[in-house]
Amino acid sequence: MKTRLSFVMTGALAAVLMSPGAQAQCPAVPLSTIAGTWTFSTDGFSVEALRLVVRQPADALASQDAVNSLGGVFALLSSGGRFTASVGADRAGNPLGVLTITETTGINGTVTRLETDIGRFQMNDDCTGGSLVFNVGSRPVQFDFFLVNPTEMVLVGSNNGDVVVGSARLATALTCPVNPVQAVAGTWVFSAEGFDLLRIFPAVGLAGRMAVTGNVLTVTQTAGVFGGNVRLEVAAGRISVNDDCTGGSMSFAVGARTIQFDFFFANANRIVLVGSTGGDIIIGEARRFGTF
């Protein structure tokens, strides 16, 4: 009987620990749950204008003008960067979630590099997630987010007809070397995928290793470029790091074309990559070899 009671009590305790309330320990000011700097990336599509066209009468859809308009309603989107969430106050003194964002974005072949903006965020009452609102390029977007743990969240577009998903990770500040490029010295394993609209919509996917010595990259990679494959290609590239060690940029050849990325540190061993030239709508990640 004692053993059985012990099992019952253990099961009850497990149920309590696994309950939503136990998973989300809300602070006195729920907005402070995500206070800090996060590194994020998102990609996907926007089809809001397409839905507006579909709502037209059938005979209107058959018109050439309607057909032509479809070219501008299917937008490819990508964004990567950092946002700092802080708690301010509105005019009545109530807590207000404030975002400060630095990001590089791609919208249908137009890339905007390292733009800064402000936004807002809200937190659900149970502190399991909430919403973020800010601009991507000149386009207002909203994401709902769901916390995986105190340092990770998943993001999903929740307005504009966006079919966009992403993730964010609480950033750990680096101790910046005297020569900032030393922050990326060593070997990294990377992957990235997306599109380049300026080359009539080719898809791009790549993965490999890059060794960083000073400002020089030595890349060994396999890539798929719109139906073709390049296996174990060796290429040289360049990399630079911002003076504050929040991120930087790199470029190297993939097959016969050069790709440039802006990157943002999540921590000393993980960076987010986002295409930053040539109409690239590309998102990826690199992690320092041998780290977990």
**Distance (Å, rounded) from C-alpha 143 to C-alpha 62?**
34
What the block records as the tokens of 17 is 């620990």
Same-domain pairing of 205 and 274 = yes
Please indicate, yes or no, whether the overall pTM of this predicted structure exceeds 0.85. Answer: no
Percent of the chain scoring above 90 in pLDDT: 68
Same-domain pairing of 282 and 200 = yes
**Distance (Å, rounded) from C-alpha 275 to C-alpha 22?**
40
Same-domain pairing of 104 and 233 = no
**Distance (Å, rounded) from C-alpha 136 to C-alpha 177?**
31
What are the phi and psi torsion angles at 56 (to 5°)?
-70, 160
Residue 165 lies in a domain: yes
Residue 61 lies in a domain: yes
Per-residue exposure over 248-263, b if at least 16 CB sit within 10 Å of its own CB, e if not: bbbebbbbeeebbbbb
Same-domain pairing of 166 and 184 = no
What's the confidence (pLDDT) of residue 197?
65
Same-domain pairing of 104 and 195 = no
In one letter, which amino acid is 251? S
CATH number for the domain spanning 94: value is 2.40.128
Same-domain pairing of 193 and 281 = yes
CATH number for the domain spanning 220: value is 2.40.128.120
More confident residue, 167 or 62: 167
Residue 19 lies in a domain: no
Helix, strand or coil, per DSSP, at residue 200? coil
Which parts of the chain fold into alpha helices (H)?
2-17, 20-23, 48-54, 58-61, 64-69
**85-119 confidence digits (pLDDT tens):** 999 999 999 999 999 999 999 988 889 999 999 99
What the block records as the tokens of 117 is 């903006």
Of 257, 254, 106, 114, residue with least CA distance to 191: 254
The domain tally of the chain equals: 2
Q: Last residue of a domain, which of 170, 190, 215?
A: 170
Residue 192 lies in a domain: yes
Mean pLDDT value across residues 212-216: 98
Domain encompassing residue 252: 180-288
Same-domain pairing of 55 and 97 = yes
Q: Last residue of a domain, which of 170, 190, 217?
A: 170
Residue 18 lies in a domain: no
Same-domain pairing of 69 and 97 = yes
Same-domain pairing of 118 and 90 = yes
**38: number of Cβ within 10 Å:** 24
What's the confidence (pLDDT) of residue 160?
86
Same-domain pairing of 125 and 206 = no
Q: Last residue of a domain, which of 136, 152, 170?
A: 170
Residue 283 lies in a domain: yes
Same-domain pairing of 78 and 203 = no
Same-domain pairing of 156 and 81 = yes
Residue 137: which pLDDT band, with cuts at 50, 70 and 90?
confident
Using the predicted structure, report yes or no on whether residue 65 has a pLDDT greater than 50.
Answer: no
Say if strands 270-275 and 257-267 run parallel, antiparallel, or are unpaired: antiparallel
Residue 16 lies in a domain: no
Q: What is the CA radius of gyration of the chain?
A: 22
The mean-pLDDT minimum among 54-63, 153-162, 165-174, 221-230 falls in: 54-63
Residue 21 lies in a domain: no
